Amino acid sequence: MGVSTSRPDKGIALVTVDFPPVNALPVQGWYDLADAVRAAGRDRENRCVVLTAEGRGFNAGVDLKEMQREHDSVTRTGTGTGTGTGSHTGTGHTALIGANHGCAEAFAAVYECEVPVVAAVGGFCLGGGIGLVGNADAIVAAEDATFGLPELDRGALGAATHLARLVPQHLMRALYYTSRTVTAAELHAHGSVWRVVPRAGLLDAALELAREIARKDGSLIRLAKAAINGIDPVDVRRSYRFEQGFTFEASLSGVADRVRAGFGKERPA
């Protein structure tokens, strides 16, 4: 369980996430993922990184139960507890702050990885999962893969920056406001998914693309990654951090708790 790195082929690092039951990552998990991706990119033997996950789905976002445990602890005792790297003990928002920073670091690690990152996505890819694949260089998806941001249903905001890299602007807005998901086939039609394959062949298809990339000159592929990032019209790190400010505002104002408490019930007009 956790984040592991292996080398299935020459020049390729495979970073695998495994947080049962649904790959909803705790604060430390986001930092561990960031560290693994950055380390794989720094290794001069690697020319491509494949990011994948074990279990039912690729990623279910942040571990909301971790936040709820802190909330319950603060309610009972009036004090918070430190959680993960860079924690802010006693604030009552430790898990939220930790998740904000952890997600930002993991998303940035994928984007800033010194070599291309191929995301191999099976099952659900939600919330923070969109941040990861939206910042990847290429996406290979299983036929059962679904992508979406249920943030508004969870009392949060964020990762519209990354969803906007997967679909056109107006579709991004409609998906964001409704919390609906899209299929791998739909993203393939928009050109953001490289291939859609049966679930059993997902890793093989991702490694096939990674091998093609890894056949390039190692120094040149690193220059290519830096060059492409340099001409990107949106600063994804700054854009996402701007979004996160509104997530924290929703939490401080009590809106987030109210929405989460009412999730699954009839929504007010």
Q: Tell me the per-residue pLDDT of 5-53, one tens digit each, with 9 for 90 and over.
A: 999 999 999 999 999 999 999 999 999 999 999 999 999 999 999 999 9
The residues pairing with 2 across neighbouring beta strands, listed in sequence order, are: 18
In the chain the domains, ranked by start, together with CATH numbers, are 2-262 (3.90.226.10)
Residue 59 has pLDDT above 50, yes or no: yes
Report yes or no: 72 and 36 within 8 Å, Cβ to Cβ. no
The 10s digit of each residue's pLDDT in 171-202 is 999 999 999 999 999 999 999 999 999 999 99
Q: 126: which residues sit within 8 A by CB, 6+ positions away?
A: 57, 59, 60, 61, 146, 147, 148, 149, 150, 181
pTM over 0.75: yes
In this structure, of 108-112, 212-216, 260-264, the range with the lowest mean pLDDT score is: 260-264
Distance, CA of 227 to CA of 215 (rounded, Å): 19
139 closest CA partner among 156, 106, 162: 162
Distance, CA of 257 to CA of 269 (rounded, Å): 18
Report yes or no: 57 and 25 within 8 Å, Cβ to Cβ. no
Planar angle of CA 68, 162, 172, nearest 5 degrees: 100
14 closest CA partner among 184, 224, 214: 214
Residue 90 has pLDDT above 50, yes or no: no
Distance, CA of 48 to CA of 115 (rounded, Å): 5
**Largest distance between two CA atoms of the chain:** 58
Average pLDDT of the chain, as a whole number? 90
